């Protein structure tokens, strides 16, 4: 859900080393990176790293080893020259990943174990998995790219576009999800609105997960190709097989425990990189002195929205991002909700998103700040059409020694696999429970659905390989991803929120609202300048993030209006069937928190602390 410009296939630009590197035209590497090709000129001797200017302009040697960090023409791509210790660290990480899958397999004896981990996991495990499932390829590369291009306004994706919605999910919506005993978000739709809305939601969700899994897989394969020089299709297949192996072996438990491992690996990779980069740029004061005013102030965020009006920019961020896109993603996206639903009890289920909110609010400091540091160090200086996707790779190439480079590579691979694994585990649950069991093969044995779940995972992985090729055709996969969120999440959130608080809303209104909202987002995207790439006709003066925010807002408004109108002419469900599904029809005792030994075990009080912290961060970095 990030937007940043990528260069076209015909652009021939240079990947600049960081400030202070001597550049000579003596050697050029003609390469292909990230779906576009370029010429890269470097004049460094093969046994040295580079000379980088410190914050005072003095040139110093940054080398930490005898490893070359030149750009090598390996399979036509940009390559980081990893040493033996780096490969050993990466291999060790993969041994742990597959080992967790094998251990989790011994715990799988039923379909509930495979799809929902037997509803037995503690809150701290599900809370970290809640964050890690979102910490995929698009987050790591996309947010660092936006940090390099836009700066501090990118923090809004976290402090406005994530934390409030995570807390709302925990306190308001999780009692409905967990208390009703549903196994998926579409199943909740079935109980509230009936089979037609359920089928529409299930199919759209399954399609969305395969498209998004394809994006994660494509970016993962691209980075593997970039780092090791392997053929892009070989990289895709190997990456897919690794994720497939541990999901098929251990189901959701394997995915969740790996996500916890991946969270710590990602932090271990990005934290040293951030510290080294900030030291090189001269600390916070040195960084802010090298960037523009808009890049070092989060409000009003004109660079993020693309609006010239500060009022419209703030409105777009608060309503478009902070309400529609954010709440639509965090409260109805089964990839996230599933992590909380596997908790061992209601209190743990409510605490999972709250616990996740604490690391989530600090992740920008190790994801966005490095991108800003790369820009401050001059990584994109002199480029007419810089590819900000390379921000982290520039820092890894020019600042990290052997060992740390291996950890950083493992961290990137961990992030990409976490995103794809989350998509696949959510896909196989919805495909098995909500589509196959409900509409195609009813009343079969539990072993049958367990076996089908594994088959669905294999099929989903194969389809993701295909959709990764589709994603590779887009010059900006982040814009493509954000367009998908606007189509699928915004109308679903509108249907959920109206149906949850208005008992009169009818089953017919449920599915017609969903379809109409999606069509509303599609119309705005087509009329905009670039939301759908070449399919957009430019009738509306909307582009970039602004187009995405307006498109999502249109989906929400159209969904609500159609739902209200259709409800006026159709029959609602009997009130006796709405307990646990509609707020006013559910006894307050059903929402009551259980007795806890300490205040910090209370989801509501813990959510209050999180909200205060994020408000303080917004004030400090305004």
Q: What is the 3-state secondary structure (H, E, C) of 533-571?
A: HHHCCCCCCCCHHHHHHHHHHHHHHHHHHHHHHHHHCCC
Beta pairing class for 59-61 and 51-53: antiparallel
Given this model, what pLDDT does residue 587 score?
Answer: 74
CA torsion angle 234 248 259 5 (round to 10)? 40
User: In angstroms, what CA-CA distances link 570 with 218, 509, 573?
Assistant: 45, 8, 10
| Residue 462 pLDDT greater than 60, yes or no | yes
Pick the more confident residue, 196 or 63.
Answer: 196
| Residue 578 pLDDT greater than 60, yes or no | yes
pLDDT digits (tens, 9 = 90+) for 341-397: 777 777 878 888 898 889 889 999 999 999 999 888 887 777 677 777 778 888 888
Pick the more confident residue, 149 or 131.
Answer: 149
| End-to-end CA separation in angstroms for the chain | 22
| Residue 195 pLDDT greater than 80, yes or no | yes
Cβ(371)–Cβ(287) under 8 Å? no
pLDDT bin (cut points 50, 70, 90) of residue 479 is low
| Proportion of the chain above pLDDT 90, given as a percent | 12
Cβ(465)–Cβ(546) under 8 Å? no
pLDDT bin (cut points 50, 70, 90) of residue 471 is confident
Given this model, what pLDDT does residue 594 score?
Answer: 61
pLDDT bin (cut points 50, 70, 90) of residue 304 is confident
pLDDT digits (tens, 9 = 90+) for 373-388: 988 888 777 767 777 7
What is the DSSP code (8-state) at residue 53? E
Token representation of residue 452? 């089908």
Q: DSSP for 436-483? A: IIIIIS-S--HHHHHHHHHHHHHHHHHHHHHHHHHHHT-S-HHHHHHH
| Residue 600 pLDDT greater than 70, yes or no | no
Best CA proximity match to 550, nearest among 219, 359, 244, 317: 317
Please give the Cα distance from 433 to 449 (Å, whole number). Answer: 8
In this structure, what are the phi and psi dihedrals at residue 14, rounded to the nearest 5 degrees?
Answer: -110, 140
Average pLDDT over residues 299-304: 78
Please give the Cα distance from 171 to 499 (Å, whole number). Answer: 17
Count CB neighbours of 176 within 10 A: 21
What sign does the dihedral 97-98-100-101 (CA atoms) show? positive
User: Lowest-pLDDT range, 126-130, 233-237, 326-330, 405-409?
Assistant: 126-130
Cβ(373)–Cβ(276) under 8 Å? no
* Residue 253 CB-half CA count within 13 A: 25
Q: What angle do CA 532, 492, 613 make, to 5 degrees?
A: 95
Pick the more confident residue, 337 or 153.
Answer: 153
Given this model, what pLDDT does residue 56 score?
Answer: 39
- Buried b or exposed e, range 37-57, using 16+ CB within 10 angstroms: bbebebebeeeebbbbbbbee
pLDDT digits (tens, 9 = 90+) for 137-158: 677 877 888 888 888 888 988 9
Given this model, what pLDDT does residue 473 score?
Answer: 65
Mean pLDDT over each residue of the chain, to the nearest integer: 75
| Residue 3 pLDDT greater than 60, yes or no | no
pLDDT bin (cut points 50, 70, 90) of residue 316 is confident
Given this model, what pLDDT does residue 240 score?
Answer: 78
Given this model, what pLDDT does residue 65 score?
Answer: 39
Residues in CB range of 579: below 8 A, 6 or more apart: 585, 586, 587, 590
Given this model, what pLDDT does residue 254 score?
Answer: 63
In DSSP terms, 52 is beta-bridged to 60
Q: What angle do CA 54, 58, 61 make, to 5 degrees?
A: 70
Pick the more confident residue, 262 or 254.
Answer: 262
Q: Which helix (H) or strand (E) segment is 325 a member of?
A: none
334-341 and 185-193 helices, crossing angle to 10°: 100
CA 310 distance to own-chain centroid: 27
Cβ(96)–Cβ(268) under 8 Å? no
User: Lowest-pLDDT range, 68-77, 267-276, 442-451?
Assistant: 68-77
Given this model, what pLDDT does residue 69 score?
Answer: 32
pLDDT digits (tens, 9 = 90+) for 55-85: 334 333 333 333 333 223 233 345 666 778 8
Q: Which helix (H) or strand (E) segment is 621 a member of?
A: none
What three-state secondary structure class fits 28?
strand
pLDDT digits (tens, 9 = 90+) for 517-539: 999 999 998 898 877 767 788 88
Q: What angle do CA 618, 338, 458 make, to 5 degrees?
A: 125
Residues in CB range of 413: below 8 A, 6 or more apart: 90, 93, 220, 223, 224
pLDDT digits (tens, 9 = 90+) for 213-247: 888 888 777 777 777 777 777 877 877 787 777 66
Cβ(374)–Cβ(277) under 8 Å? yes
Token representation of residue 506? 């009818």
Cis peptide before 300 (omega within 30 of 0): yes
Cβ(525)–Cβ(540) under 8 Å? no
What's the predicted TM-score (pTM) here?
A: 0.73
Given this model, what pLDDT does residue 429 score?
Answer: 81
Given this model, what pLDDT does residue 15 score?
Answer: 44
Q: What angle do CA 517, 523, 526 make, to 5 degrees?
A: 140
Average pLDDT over residues 4-30: 36
- Buried b or exposed e, range 407-432, using 16+ CB within 10 angstroms: bbbbbbbbbbbbbbbbbbbbbbbbbb
Given this model, what pLDDT does residue 464 score?
Answer: 86
Q: DSSP for 398-449? A: HHPPTTHHHHHHHHHHHHHHHHHHHHHHHHHHIIIIIIIIIIIS-S--HHHH
| Residue 311 pLDDT greater than 90, yes or no | no
Token representation of residue 319? 């309503």
Average pLDDT over residues 271-285: 90
């Amino acid at each position: 859900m990030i937007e940043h410009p990528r260069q076209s296939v015909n652009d021939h630009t240079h990947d600049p080393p960081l400030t202070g590197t001597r550049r000579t035209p003596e050697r050029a590497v003609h390469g292909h990176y990230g779906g576009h090709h370029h010429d890269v000129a470097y004049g460094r001797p093969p046994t040295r790293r580079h000379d980088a200017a410190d914050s005072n302009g003095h040139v110093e040697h940054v080398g930490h080893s005898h490893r070359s960090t030149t750009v090598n023409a390996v399979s036509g791509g940009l390559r980081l020259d990893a040493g033996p210790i780096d490969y050993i660290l990466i291999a060790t990480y993969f041994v742990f990943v597959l080992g967790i899958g094998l251990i989790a397999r011994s715990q799988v004896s039923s379909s509930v174990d495979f799809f929902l981990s037997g509803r037995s996991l503690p809150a701290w495990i599900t809370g970290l998995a809640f964050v890690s499932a979102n910490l995929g390829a698009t987050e790591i590369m996309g947010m660092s790219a936006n940090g390099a291009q836009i700066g501090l306004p990118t923090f809004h994706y976290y402090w406005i576009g994530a934390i409030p919605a995570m807390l709302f999910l925990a306190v308001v919506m999780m009692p409905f999800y967990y208390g009703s005993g549903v196994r998926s978000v579409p199943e909740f739709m079935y109980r509230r609105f009936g089979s037609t809305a359920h089928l529409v939601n299930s199919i759209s969700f399954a399609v969305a997960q395969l498209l998004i899994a394809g994006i994660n897989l494509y970016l993962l394969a691209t980075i593997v190709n970039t780092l090791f020089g392997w053929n892009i299709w070989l990289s895709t297949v190997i990456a897919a097989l690794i994720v497939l192996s541990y999901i098929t072996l251990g189901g959701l438990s394997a995915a969740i425990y790996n996500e916890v491992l991946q969270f710590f690996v990602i932090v271990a990779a990005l934290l040293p990189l951030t510290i080294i980069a900030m030291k090189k740029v001269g600390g916070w004061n040195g960084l802010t002195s090298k960037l523009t005013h808009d890049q070092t102030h989060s409000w009003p965020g004109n660079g993020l929205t693309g609006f010239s009006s500060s009022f419209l920019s703030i409105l777009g961020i608060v309503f478009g991002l902070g309400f529609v896109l954010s709440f639509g993603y965090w409260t109805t996206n089964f990839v996230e909700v599933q992590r909380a639903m596997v908790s061992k009890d209601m209190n743990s289920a409510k605490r999972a998103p709250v616990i996740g909110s604490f690391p989530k609010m600090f992740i920008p400091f190790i994801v966005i700040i490095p991108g800003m540091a790369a820009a401050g160090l001059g990584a994109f200086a002199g480029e007419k059409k810089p590819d900000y996707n390379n921000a982290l790779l520039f820092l890894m190439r020019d600042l990290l020694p052997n060992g740390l480079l291996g950890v950083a590579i493992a961290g990137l691979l961990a992030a990409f696999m976490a995103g794809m694994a989350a998509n696949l585990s959510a896909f196989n649950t919805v495909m098995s429970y909500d589509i196959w069991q409900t509409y195609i093969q009813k009343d079969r044995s539990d072993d049958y659905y367990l076996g089908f779940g594994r088959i669905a995972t294999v099929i989903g992985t194969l389809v993701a390989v295909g959709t990764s090729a589709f994603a590779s055709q887009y010059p900006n996969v982040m814009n493509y991803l954000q367009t998908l969120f606007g189509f699928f999440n915004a109308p679903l959130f509108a249907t959920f929120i109206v149906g949850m608080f208005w008992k009169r809303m009818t089953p017919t209104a449920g599915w017609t609202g969903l379809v109409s909202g999606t069509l509303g987002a599609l119309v705005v995207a087509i009329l905009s300048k670039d939301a759908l790439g070449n399919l957009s006709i430019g009738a509306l003066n909307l582009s970039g993030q602004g187009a995405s925010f307006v498109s999502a807002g249109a989906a929400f408004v159209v969904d609500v209006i159609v739902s209200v109108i259709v409800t006026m002419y159709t029959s609602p469900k009997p009130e006796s069937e709405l307990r646990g599904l509609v707020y006013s029809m559910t006894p307050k005792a059903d929402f009551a928190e259980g007795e806890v030994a300490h205040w910090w075990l209370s989801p509501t009080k813990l959510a209050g602390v999180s909200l205060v912290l994020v408000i303080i961060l917004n004030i400090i970095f305004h």
